[in-house]
Amino acid sequence: MKKFVVKIKDFLKGKNKLIIIAVAVISLILLAPFQKIEIGQQGILYNSVSGKISTDLSSGWHLVFPFFQKMISYPTNETVYKIYRDNKNWNNGIDASIVTPTKDNQTISLDVTFIFSLDKERFVDIFKRFSGEKIEQIENDYLDDIFRASVIDSITKYTAYDVYSSKRSEVQAIVLDDLSSKLLDTGIIIKDVYIDTVRLSTETEAIIKAQSLAEAARIEAQGQSDANKLISDSLTDKIMTYEAIQKMSESLKLIIVPSGSEGQIDYSKIIEQILNETGVQQGE
């Protein structure tokens, strides 16, 4: 009887071990999250025990063991990051756009789009540099500050009128070059920069409007001056003589010119009259 009881106890002990093992395995499976890598992304798997980093995880579901492994995914395509005045922040009194002074001491607000990509060959470096942060964290904690600083530094070299009108593309190119230099060693490749919107204060808008009208008037005056010069340069002596004869022919049917120098017609006065009527000065 005692032997039978001992066997039962041994059996239960062994069974308990199996149950414990089974529960542990099931718990591990249930606790271990299955993480998905979306299409257009590549996964990074970090093993905290061995310190190994794997970068060959393609899109799909992957089993990641808790406490021992960490997986994040990086985009393999171009990423668009916008800094702009969104309604949610604006309604709460926060201007999330880039507010910057200009060379002429005006203040403007900008909505700017940045397009960048990550160097696939440097995913491990990016993982280490940013302590395994996701791309969203890298954007918010790192890139946002760099993007804003670069735009502000570039805008302060231009007047509000330049940024608003003729030199927007030039400013974009300068910001692009500046960011390319600053991000050179990070594995982040800046592709394009676009200034989408330029907002002006009421005072700045009035100043720029006046400058625009003055510039339009200058261009119009220059165009009229160039046209007059072209007409004046084209009035050769033969053309002016012909025009003088045409002028006389309107009132004279026949002209008899005596021989000799005293009988010659003074074309210069007739030409002067024609030019006065047309408002064109004779070219030299």
Nearest Cα to Cα of residue 51 among 124, 137, 135, 107 = 124
Q: How many domains does the chain have?
A: 3
Give 64's pLDDT tier (boundaries 50, 70, 90): confident
Query: Are residues 68 and 88 part of one domain?
Result: no
Angle subtended at Cα 143 by Cα 137 and Cα 132, rounded to the nearest 5 degrees? 35
Residues 161-176 have pLDDT tens digits of 899 888 999 999 999 9
Average confidence (pLDDT) over 43-54: 86
Report field, pTM of the whole predicted structure over 0.95: no
Whether 208 is in a domain gets the answer no
Average confidence (pLDDT) over 201-222: 65
Residues 68-96 have pLDDT tens digits of 888 889 999 999 999 999 999 999 989 99
- What is the three-class DSSP state of 111? strand
CB atoms within 10 A of CB 232: 14
CATH number at residue 97: 3.30.479.30
| Gyration radius (Cα) of the chain, Å | 41
Residue 121 lies in domain? 79-200
Average confidence (pLDDT) over 275-281: 58
Whether 220 is in a domain gets the answer no
| Predicted pLDDT of residue 6 | 47
| Nearest-angstrom CA–CA distance, 55 and 70 | 12
Residues 213-259 have pLDDT tens digits of 566 667 666 777 666 666 666 656 666 666 666 665 555 555 555 55
| Nearest-angstrom CA–CA distance, 60 and 90 | 39
Asked whether residue 118 carries a pLDDT value surpassing 50, the answer given is: yes
Share of the chain above pLDDT 90, in %: 43
CB atoms within 10 A of CB 216: 10
| Contact predicate 62/175, CB 8 Å | no
Whether 195 is in a domain gets the answer yes
Whether 227 is in a domain gets the answer no
| Predicted pLDDT of residue 126 | 95
Asked whether residue 35 carries a pLDDT value surpassing 90, the answer given is: no
* Residue that finishes a domain, picked among 181, 200, 219: 200
Nearest Cα to Cα of residue 74 among 34, 150, 128 = 128
Whether 214 is in a domain gets the answer no
Whether 216 is in a domain gets the answer no
Where do the H-state alpha helices sit in 59-118?
A: 87-91
- What is the three-class DSSP state of 32? coil
Of 108-122, 124-138, 270-284, the poorest mean pLDDT is in: 270-284
